[in-house]
Chains A and B, each alone.
Chain A
């Protein structure tokens, strides 16, 4: 290996914050189990992450000690539960550097968060007095990309069907990057919202958004970033990103399932009509009509996932304790290691960027013409858990001419030994299907 000397005064290699992976792994009870007689090698964190003891304890503690409904009780338990729920909101706001805690709306997951925005547009489009930024009709356009998860495609297709607006999209290059060459033609005065994935769940690509943001501002559209895969893995600052909305989900970031986040600029959330109606989201109700609470409550009808929100707050504490920059760097090193190791496997084709720059620790590939289901099955017999299939991103599979892909994805608890186990497993796959 060549050794490169970084000039004095520049950030040095050892300046990067690091953490002890073995100690982190000890926090995750599930990592101690075996699968099919082999130690668990979990390479499916882009699908869902594991949960550390610190999060499981908070979940348990909440039900054991503080269980009550929120925002409506004067009793002690109700007050404790409300404080815990709102405390979690404040932690999450700080985690993404939201200017205000009220900009954090709890949802079920990213899918619901995107749907809330899409349906707010839909509802506004039916009301002549609604804020024109949310009103869509024939001639208006919504822009997404070919790189999206189905959750950032289907809600917009449905919205366009309901309103008569037109759906357009950025293509993807052969290297698995967003093709921004048509930006000026794609994002125009007709565009009302651009909704893009920040980090692809299938290609691993992290999209550089500043050029797109600048164009979105120029034409007066809105920008939503699907950060489901980036918030768990990189430091995210919504002010720095300069988006109008971001969405992410708790279960991919060491939190429980059933809890996600819609962050929106306060002024925008305040101008949006409600989507779900019910308890907690109202200001006053008569038999004839209702008025609505300010955000975030306006978008949180009904009893929310309280314990899940509290546990997501604990997950954010856990990640912050280790440091998002350290986690990002750990995954960058793993990705470089894996890309290198995959290079040694005959007939392995990587879909997406093949350099560890502008990408995260999610790598999809094909092994010869062995179907991903078969790859995944043989790997499972060796304890190696990868995802196979279309990864809820069928247009990406079509773009690269395959019905399905095999995907390995890493997180803070992933080790290079696990990547070695994957590579050894791929050798076994080749033997079975040779």
Chain B
């Protein structure tokens, strides 16, 4: 059934038991901390993503928000995938996730890069939900830029 592709167990798990939810202060007082608040105006979903970094490593990615299972699970996966990673590496993952979501279901995801993010492959087939999945990732990109790290290519979802 199509619905199973959209609501993979992994997505429902992240939705029901989100990882690393809640906005946090930086452990290291020397870190740059910045956040971005993004809203999906068509449905009212909201997410705030906060990045704490020394410029090289993303020490923490914390978030809060409200919205559908897809947007909230996506934030949980984002946290899990990118926290503690080097900035360059993180943006490679970011790019891969955006590519997957923009691929209308034609892109085969690399589990080594995307981890639990591969579960969102099914979401890419539902144009109305792609924005939900991308919401925290776009907020992350803005937050990271404000904290002074990396930029990945512009993407129109």
From 111 to 169 in chain A, residues with beta carbon under 8 angstroms from any chain B beta carbon are none
Instruction: Report yes or no: B1 in contact with A381, Cβ–Cβ below 8 A.
Output: yes
Surface stretch bound by A, among B29-37, B64-72, B102-110, B142-150: B64-72
Interface residues contributed by chain A, number (CB under 8 Å): 17
Instruction: Report yes or no: B66 in contact with A373, Cβ–Cβ below 8 A.
Output: no
Q: Is the interface of B mostly helix, strand, loop or mixed?
A: mixed
From 1 to 54 in chain A, residues with beta carbon under 8 angstroms from any chain B beta carbon are 36
The proximity string for B residues 9-46 relative to A, scoring 1 for CB distances below 8 Å and 0 otherwise, is 00010000000000000000000000000000011111
Q: Does any Cβ of B come within 8 Å of A389's Cβ?
A: yes
The proximity string for B residues 49-68 relative to A, scoring 1 for CB distances below 8 Å and 0 otherwise, is 00000000000000000111
From residue A278, how far is it (CB to closest CB) to chain B in Å?
Answer: 31
From residue B47, how far is it (CB to closest CB) to chain A in Å?
Answer: 12
Instruction: Report yes or no: A373 in contact with B43, Cβ–Cβ below 8 A.
Output: yes
Instruction: Report yes or no: A403 in contact with B3, Cβ–Cβ below 8 A.
Output: no
Q: A371-B67, A373-B68, A433-B69 are in contact. Are A404 and B43 (CB under 8 A)?
A: yes
Write out the residue numbers on chain B whose beta carbons fall within 8 Å of the beta carbon of A403: 43-46, 66-67
Q: Does any Cβ of A come within 8 Å of B134's Cβ?
A: no
Q: Is the interface of A mostly helix, strand, loop or mixed?
A: helix
From residue A213, how far is it (CB to closest CB) to chain B in Å?
Answer: 34
Q: Does any Cβ of B come within 8 Å of A57's Cβ?
A: no
Q: Does any Cβ of B come within 8 Å of A432's Cβ?
A: yes
Instruction: Report yes or no: B44 in contact with A381, Cβ–Cβ below 8 A.
Output: no
Q: Does any Cβ of B come within 8 Å of A105's Cβ?
A: no
From 403 to 434 in chain A, residues with beta carbon under 8 angstroms from any chain B beta carbon are 403-404, 432-433
Q: A389-B43, A394-B44 are in contact. Are A371 and B68 (CB under 8 A)?
A: yes
From residue A375, how far is it (CB to closest CB) to chain B in Å?
Answer: 9
Q: A371-B69, A374-B68 are in contact. Are A388 and B3 (CB under 8 A)?
A: no
Write out the residue numbers on chain A whose beta carbons fall within 8 Å of the beta carbon of B44: 389-390, 394, 397, 403-404
Q: Does any Cβ of A come within 8 Å of B138's Cβ?
A: no
By CB atoms of chain A within 10 A, which of B43, B66, B129 has the most?
B43
The proximity string for A residues 381-401 relative to B, scoring 1 for CB distances below 8 Å and 0 otherwise, is 100000011100010010000
The distance in angstroms between the C-alpha atoms of A394 and B42, with both chains bound, is 11
Instruction: Report yes or no: A388 in contact with B43, Cβ–Cβ below 8 A.
Output: yes
Q: Does any Cβ of B come within 8 Å of A378's Cβ?
A: yes
From residue B130, how far is it (CB to closest CB) to chain A in Å?
Answer: 12
Instruction: Report yes or no: A389 in contact with B42, Cβ–Cβ below 8 A.
Output: yes
The distance in angstroms between the C-alpha atoms of A183 and B80, with both chains bound, is 54
Write out the residue numbers on chain A whose beta carbons fall within 8 Å of the beta carbon of B68: 371-374
Q: Does any Cβ of A come within 8 Å of B75's Cβ?
A: no
Q: Does any Cβ of A come within 8 Å of B119's Cβ?
A: no
From residue B21, how far is it (CB to closest CB) to chain A in Å?
Answer: 15
Nearest neighbor of B41 in chain A, beta-carbon distance: A390
The proximity string for B residues 119-134 relative to A, scoring 1 for CB distances below 8 Å and 0 otherwise, is 0000000100100100
Sample of 4 further A-B pairs with CB below 8 A, known A36-B2, A373-B67, A404-B44: A377-B126, A394-B44, A403-B67, A432-B3
B: residues with CB less than 8 A from A are 1-3, 6-7, 12, 42-46, 66-70, 126, 129, 132
